[in-house]
Structure 1
Amino acid sequence: MSHAFRTLHQAMPIVAAALGRQFGVPVAVGGDEACTDGHSIQVPALPPQSELIPVAWGYLAHEAAHLRFTDFDAYRQGSGSDPLSRSVLNILEDIRIERAIAVPYPGTRETLLAVCDHLSGRGDLSPPKPDAHPAQVLTSYLLLHLRHRLLATESLAASAREAERVLREVFPLRTVHRLQGLLTEVGQLANTGDTVDLAKRIRALLEAEKPPARAPSSGSGTDQPDQPGHAGQNVPGTAGRNHPTSDGGSTGTPTDANAAGADDSLNPTAGQSSPGNAAGDHPSGQGQGQGQKQGTDGTTSVGPGGSASSTKPDSTPPPTLNADAPADVGKAQAIAQALSASDDDLPGDLFQQVRELLDAAGQGDSPCLLPRAEPFESDPTRGLRLLATVQEESRRLRARLQGLVQASRLDRPQAFRHGPRLLPKRLYRAAVGDPRLFARKRERVAVDTAIHLLIDLSGSMNSPVRRRDGLVQRRGQIAQSAALALALALDGIHGVSVAVSAFPGLSGVEDRISVLVRHGQRPRACAGAFLQSTRGGTPMAGALWFAAADLLGRPESRRIVLLLTDGKPNRIAETREILRLCSAAGLETVGLGIGVDVSGLFPVALRVDEVTELRTALFGAAERLLLAA
C-alpha cells in the first residue's frame, strides 16, 4: 500500500505524534489494528486521501481521554457481571471522559464530532426499532441522547428524538421519567467512581421497576378460588396494584380476599375513588364514600345505593395506580428482558465500530511508520563506569566546540559607506577612493539547533571489533559510547538541544524505539541507558519518522537528524520517502555509515571503515554541522 504524503507536516505519523505529545500519550502509526494497551495508542497507517483520517484523530482523542481520565481499576471492579451493566457503564464513562478532555484541549470536540458524523452518515448510529430487544432500545437511547445533549452532536438530534419516542413506547412511562431524572447527573460526574455509582443506580432503578415474579396463592383469608380481579392474578389491569411506588418501594401484594379491591391506596378514606363509582357515575349520584361502610372485620358492606360487595366476583377490573396500566404490563416485562439481556442482545460499543473501520482501512499490511517510544531502565552502577570512560574526551570536545562556535559568532565590525563611527585602521583607504570607512556590527547568529541522534542497534551491530589497545568491543558498544560522549559535549553548548534514540525497540520489533535521552534531559543522568544489547533488524524508516516528529515539535530554527548505521534499511522505499519529506520540510539529515556507504539514501553521508574511528568521525560531523549556519 502506498503512503506517499505530500508534505511532512500533513503526514499522518507527524500529526499523530503531535497529538500524542499534546495529550501526553505515546502514539504509534502502522500495524494491522487500532488498539491501546493502557499506556499507548496505535492506529494503522492510512492513505493520505482516506476519509477515515479524521476518524482516526477522533479515535486517538477518545483513547487518550481514557488513558488520562479513566481509573481502570475502579472501572473493572464496577463493570458488573451482566452485559447490560457493562454497556451502561461504558456509555456513561465515554461521555464523561470526552467532556473532560475537551476542557484542556477544546479541539478534541471537533475530532470527536467527526467520528459521530461519519458513523451517522453510514447509518451506524440509527435509532432502534420498536421491535428491537429492550436492552438495545435502552442503551441506544442512552448513547444517542447523551451524545446529543451533553456533547452537542447536532447530527444525532433527529436520531436522539426518535430513540426517546421508541423508549417511551417500549418501557413504562414512569420508568422513563425516573431514568431521565438520573441522567441529569451525567454532566456532574467527576471521576470513574462517580460513573460506576450512577450505573449501579440505573441498574437498581430497573430492578425496582421490574414486575414481581408470579407466586402461588397463599390460601389465607377466605378459601375462594382465584377469580378475575383478585390479588395475585396475572391478568390485565392488575399489574398496577403491585407496581413500585415513585420512591422505589412497593405498594404491597394483597394475599387475602378482604384485601382484594380494598388496598389502602384505593381506600375511600384516602381520597381515591374506584373507576365507575365516582360521584358523577354512581347511579344514586352519591360518592363511593357515602355508599359503603368499613366493617370492623375489614370487610366492605353495602350501604344504600352502594355497589356489590368486594367478596363477589366483579366484572370491572380493579383500580390501578397508572391510567395506562394495561399497556404497562407488557412494558414492565420489557424491563425484565433488558435486565436479563446477553451480549448478543446489545449493540456494539461505538468505538469498537471505529476500530473495525480503521483495521479494515489499514488492509492488514500497514508498515510501522511511527514506532512507539519506550523508556530504557538503566543500570546506574554500570552507567557510572561508562560515564567515567567517556567524560574526559567529552570535556575536550565540548571546549573545542564552544570555542569554535563562539569564534564564528563574534560581533566583528564590518566596513560600510555609512555608520555611527569611523574605522581608524581603514582611513588610509580614503586615499585610493574607497568610501567604506565606517564601522557597523553584523547581526549575531545564534546556534539555536536541535539534534536527534539515532543509533542502529540491529543484530549486525553485535560484530566484535579489536581496538588498538587490544581490547575487543562490539560495534553496538562503541556506537553507544561515542553517542554518549557527543551528547555530553553538546549538552554544554548554549543554544543546542540533543535527544538520542536507538532502534529497533528492546524486544527487536519494528513498532518500538528505545529512548535514551529526551530533549531537556541531562545525558549524564541517562548514562546507564547507553548499555543496550543489539537485536532485530534495521527499521530505519520508522526511526526517521520518530526523529522527524520529535524535531518538528521543537522550537529551534535548525533541526538535524544524525543517524549511525552499519546496514541497509528493511524498507528502502519508505526510507527514501521520509528522507525526501524531511528535506522538503527543511530538516537536515546526515547518515554516518559504519563500513557501509549510505550516500544513496542520505543527502549528507559520511563513511567510517574502522569502527574505532567512529568517535572521531562523529565529533567532526558535529563540528561541521554547528558551524555551517
Structure 2
Amino acid sequence: MHQTLEHAFPIVAAAIGNRFGISVSVGGTKAYTDGQSIQLPGYNGSDPQYQHYAWGYLAHEAAHIRFSDFQLDFGDSVLRRRICGAIEDVRIEHELAKVYPGTRLTLAKMVEQLVSEGRLTAQAASDHPGNVLFGYILKRLRAKVLGQTVLEPLVDATREALRACFPRGALIRLEGLLSEVPEGLTCERDCLDLTDRILAMLEEECTEPTNTSASGDSDSDSEDGDNATPEDDNDSSDTNTEHEDSSSSGSDADGAENLTDPGDPAPSDQDDEPGNESAGADNASSGTDQPAQQDDSATPSLMDQLRITSEQDLEQDWFETAKSQLGLTPDSAEKCTLPVGLFPKGSRLVGQALANRVEQNSKALRVALQSAVQDHRQNRPQAARNGRRINPRRLTKLALGDTRVFCRSGQRVAPNCAVHILLDKSESMGETLVIHGEEVSLLTLALEASMALALALESIQGVNPAITAFPGANDESVHQVLRHGEKVRDNLGRFSVFSAYTTPMTQAVWFAAAQLLQCREPRKLLLTVTDGVPNDLPGTLSILKRCRDSGIETLGIGLGVEVGHLFPVALTIHDLAELRPQLFALSKAMLLAA
C-alpha cells in the first residue's frame, strides 16, 4: 500500500507553522515551546483526537509567539498570574483568528475534545474561591469572545458557584470589567492592568460594609434592612428596633437563597461565614458583631484566601492538559523527525566572494541551461488540416493529397516546477582537495555548484529553486540557505556555512518534502548532494519512497560514493572538478523531461 505525505502529521505541522510564520519541529516524546519555535512529538498516525490536541496546541502557542510579551513580572501572586494568563489567552487567540480565521474552529475542536473527555468541568461552590473566580473568568470569556459554545453549560454552573462565594455587587462589577475583553486590550500589559482592577474591585466589595449593603439593596427588603442595621447609627430607636427584628429573618432568607454556602456575604459582613451561622450569631448577640469578630480570628477572610491561592488550588491550564495528552512513550514515538529550519548566521562578504567565483566560472553553463529550457518551451507552428491561418509553404502539398496546409501553434508543457537542492554539510564535507592547483573544501565546491544552479534556475520563468543545508546548528536542525521564492543575491550571507556533525538525511528529506509540498508548482524535484551514508538508512529509504508516492521526484548526486540504492535517478561523481557541469547536465535532463 502506498503511504503518501499528503496528510502526514509532520508535513501538516510544518505547513501550519509556515502559515503562522513559526518554526515547527517534530520529534521526540514531548511537546513544548521555547518562545521562538514549537516542538511536537514524533507522532506519525492519523488519530483525529490526537490531531485536535496537536493543532489546538500549535495554534495557541503560535499566538503566544506572535502576540505575547513574555517579559511581564507577575510578582508572587499565583491568582494574579493565572487570571492575567486566562485573559491574555483569549486576547491572543482572538487576534490570531483575525489573521487566520480557521484557528477559531481549530481551538474550538480542542476545547470540545477536552469537555467530551471530562477534562473540563464547572467549578462548585465548595471549591477554593480563587478557583471559582479563575474558572468563571476563563470559561465566560472563551464562550462569549471566542465563540466556544460548548462551554456555556459550564459557565452557567460556575456562575452559580460564584454567586455563592462572592458579594452580589462584585458579580455585577466583574461583568462590567470583563466586557473590556477583547476590544479594550492591545497587549499583555493591558491584560495585567485589567487583572489588577478586578482584584482591587473584589477587595473593595469584600471588605467595605457600604458596598455589601449596596449589593443587598437589589435582593429583597429584608436584606436591605438587615444590611443597613450596623450603619445607620443616627436612626431613631424605633427604626433600629425594626431593623433588629428583621435581622434574623433577613439572614435566613439570604442563607436559603445561597444554599447556606460558606462563601456568601452574611449581614454581619463576614464573607466567609455560612448564612445560617451568621443568623444565629445575630440572634444571640441582639445586633452586636462581637462573635463575628471572634470568627474572623479563626477563619481566613475571603480576600485572605484569594491572596494565598496556590497553584494546587486552581484547575490545570488547559494547554498544559493538551500538552500532556500529546506526550508519547519512547516506544510509540516515530523515528521520523521534522527538524527546525534555521537561518545560518554567516558573513555576506564570504557569500559575495563565492558569488564572484560562480559568476566567472559558470556563466557559459548557466546560459546553456537557460537556452535549452527556453528553446524547449517555444511553441513551434505545426501543420494542421484546419485552422485560421494558411502556411503558404505547404500549398504545394495539396497536389500530393496532403491537406495539412494550415498553421497551428504547438502546445508544449513549460517546466513549471519547484526544485529543492538538499546539500550535505556534515563534517566529512570539510575535506580539502586540490582542484586546478587551488585548495578548496568539498563543501565549498558543492556550495558553488548549488549557487550556480540556483542562479540559473531562478532566471527561468516557471522554475522555483531552493537550497537547504543539513545538518544545521545540530543534528535536529537544518540551515535554510535559500527558501522558495527568494533570490540568491538577496541572501548571500546564508551561503557562508561550515561543515559539522553527521548526516541526518532522514530529517533533512522530511524538511525539504514539507517545503516542496507547500509550493504551487505542479512538478516537484528533490535533488540531494551528499558524500556519505545517512545516519538512519531505513528511515531515509522510507521517507524517500513516501516522497515518490506523493509525486516528488527524487534525484541524488554522490560525491565519491554510490547513491543508486537511495535514488532511482542517481549520479556518482569521482572527478570532483566535474561536479558543476554534471549537476547542470542532470538538472537540464530533468527539466526537459516534462
User: TM range, normalised to the smaller chain?
Assistant: 0.7 to 0.9
Q: 5+ unaligned residues in a row in structure 2: which ranges? A: 216-227, 249-281
Shift of 1:419: 2.4
- 1:326-368 CA distances to partner (integer Å, 9 max, x unpaired)? 9999998233212211222222211111111112367674435
Distance 2:144 2:238 in 1: 41
Distance 2:518 2:342 in 1: 18
Shift of 1:13: 1.7
Distance 1:331 1:443 in 2: 88
| Aligned twin of 1:617 | 582
Shift of 1:95: 1.0
Preserved CA contact (<8 Å) 2:53 2:325 = no
Preserved CA contact (<8 Å) 2:561 2:572 = yes
| Aligned twin of 1:483 | 450
Q: Cα gap change, 1:44/1:314 in structure 2, threshold over 3 Å: closer, same or farther?
A: closer
Query: In the alignment, does 2:181 pair up with 1:191?
Result: no
- Aligned pairs for 1:63-102 (under 5 A) are 63-73=61-71, 76-77=72-73, 79-102=74-97
Distance 1:559 1:349 in 2: 42
- 1:455-503 CA distances to partner (integer Å, 9 max, x unpaired)? 0111222223222x23232211211121112112222222222111101
Preserved CA contact (<8 Å) 2:338 2:507 = yes
Preserved CA contact (<8 Å) 2:2 2:549 = no
Q: Which amino acid aligns with 1:153?
A: Q
Preserved CA contact (<8 Å) 2:9 2:46 = no
Query: In the alignment, does 2:122 pair up with 1:124?
Result: no
| Aligned twin of 1:61 | 59
Q: Cα gap change, 1:480/1:352 in structure 2, threshold over 3 Å: closer, same or farther?
A: same
Q: Cα gap change, 1:242/1:438 in structure 2, threshold over 3 Å: closer, same or farther?
A: closer
Preserved CA contact (<8 Å) 1:266 1:272 = no
Q: Cα gap change, 1:130/1:262 in structure 2, threshold over 3 Å: closer, same or farther?
A: closer
| Aligned twin of 2:110 | 115
Q: Cα gap change, 1:524/1:241 in structure 2, threshold over 3 Å: closer, same or farther?
A: closer
Shift of 1:587: 1.8
Higher percent of residues as helix = 2
Q: Which amino acid aligns with 1:59?
A: Y
| Aligned twin of 1:357 | 325
Q: Cα gap change, 1:49/1:383 in structure 2, threshold over 3 Å: closer, same or farther?
A: closer
Distance 2:211 2:68 in 1: 38
Aligned residue among 399, 404, 413 for 2:381:
413
Query: In the alignment, does 2:201 pair up with 1:208?
Result: no
Distance 1:19 1:41 in 2: 11
Which one has the largest radius of gyration?
1
- 1:279-327 CA distances to partner (integer Å, 9 max, x unpaired)? 9x9xxxxxxxxxxxxxxxxxxxxxxxxxxxxxxx99664389xxx9999
Distance 2:213 2:2 in 1: 64
Aligned residue among 592, 615, 623 for 2:557:
592
- TM-score, length of structure 2 as denominator length: 0.84
Preserved CA contact (<8 Å) 2:383 2:404 = yes
Q: Which amino acid aligns with 1:393?
A: N
Distance 1:526 1:436 in 2: 53
Q: Cα gap change, 1:148/1:169 in structure 2, threshold over 3 Å: closer, same or farther?
A: same
Q: Cα gap change, 1:140/1:533 in structure 2, threshold over 3 Å: closer, same or farther?
A: same
Q: Cα gap change, 1:549/1:331 in structure 2, threshold over 3 Å: closer, same or farther?
A: farther
Q: Cα gap change, 1:277/1:459 in structure 2, threshold over 3 Å: closer, same or farther?
A: closer
Preserved CA contact (<8 Å) 1:378 1:526 = no
Aligned residue among 34, 37, 53 for 1:37:
34
Q: Which amino acid aligns with 2:62?
A: A
Q: Cα gap change, 1:314/1:10 in structure 2, threshold over 3 Å: closer, same or farther?
A: closer
Q: Secondary structure at the match of 1:440?
A: strand
- 1:168-222 CA distances to partner (integer Å, 9 max, x unpaired)? 22333333333233222223222212111101112222333455xxxxxxxxxxx
| Aligned twin of 1:318 | 287
- Aligned pairs for 1:276-315 (under 5 A) are 276=243
Distance 1:174 1:270 in 2: 29
| Aligned twin of 2:221 | none
Q: Which amino acid aligns with 2:415?
A: V
- 1:548-601 CA distances to partner (integer Å, 9 max, x unpaired)? 221222222322111101122222233223222222222222111112222222
Query: In the alignment, does 2:440 pair up with 1:473?
Result: yes
Shift of 1:430: 3.5
Preserved CA contact (<8 Å) 1:500 1:515 = yes
| Aligned twin of 2:260 | none
Preserved CA contact (<8 Å) 1:453 1:498 = yes
Deviates more, 1:351-360 or 1:329-338: 329-338
Preserved CA contact (<8 Å) 1:446 1:495 = yes
- 1:389-421 CA distances to partner (integer Å, 9 max, x unpaired)? 111233222211221122212221111222223
Preserved CA contact (<8 Å) 2:42 2:333 = no
- 1:489-539 CA distances to partner (integer Å, 9 max, x unpaired)? 222222222111101112x222x1101112232212323322311112212
Deviates more, 1:26-35 or 1:571-580: 571-580
Shift of 1:161: 1.5
Q: Secondary structure at the match of 1:620?
A: helix
Preserved CA contact (<8 Å) 2:432 2:442 = yes
- Aligned pairs for 1:199-238 (under 5 A) are 199-211=195-207
Distance 2:324 2:317 in 1: 11
Preserved CA contact (<8 Å) 2:167 2:212 = no
Shift of 1:43: 0.9
Percent of aligned positions that are identical: 38
- Aligned pairs for 1:138-537 (under 5 A) are 138-188=133-183, 189-211=185-207, 241=209, 265-268=232-235, 275-276=242-243, 317-318=286-287, 333-360=301-328, 365-467=333-435, 469-506=436-473, 508-510=474-476, 512-537=477-502
- Aligned pairs for 1:535-554 (under 5 A) are 535-554=500-519
Q: Which amino acid aligns with 1:474?
A: S
Q: Which amino acid aligns with 1:318?
A: G
Preserved CA contact (<8 Å) 1:31 1:368 = no
| Aligned twin of 1:25 | 22
Q: Secondary structure at the match of 2:526?
A: strand
Shift of 1:71: 2.1
Preserved CA contact (<8 Å) 1:477 1:531 = no
CA RMSD, aligned part only? Answer: 3.2
Preserved CA contact (<8 Å) 1:481 1:530 = no
Q: Which amino acid aligns with 2:76?
A: S
Q: Cα gap change, 1:70/1:429 in structure 2, threshold over 3 Å: closer, same or farther?
A: same
Query: In the alignment, does 2:7 pair up with 1:10?
Result: yes
Q: Secondary structure at the match of 1:147?
A: helix
Distance 1:576 1:125 in 2: 43
Preserved CA contact (<8 Å) 1:46 1:362 = no
Preserved CA contact (<8 Å) 1:513 1:543 = yes
Q: Cα gap change, 1:246/1:336 in structure 2, threshold over 3 Å: closer, same or farther?
A: farther
Preserved CA contact (<8 Å) 1:558 1:587 = yes
Q: Which amino acid aligns with 2:287?
A: P
Aligned residues: 544
- 1:118-162 CA distances to partner (integer Å, 9 max, x unpaired)? 111221111223332222222222222222222222222222211
Distance 1:503 1:14 in 2: 18
Shift of 1:164: 1.4
- TM-score, length of structure 1 as denominator length: 0.79
Shift of 1:433: 3.2
Q: Secondary structure at the match of 1:596?
A: coil
Distance 1:518 1:64 in 2: 21
Distance 2:535 2:67 in 1: 38
Q: Secondary structure at the match of 2:18?
A: helix
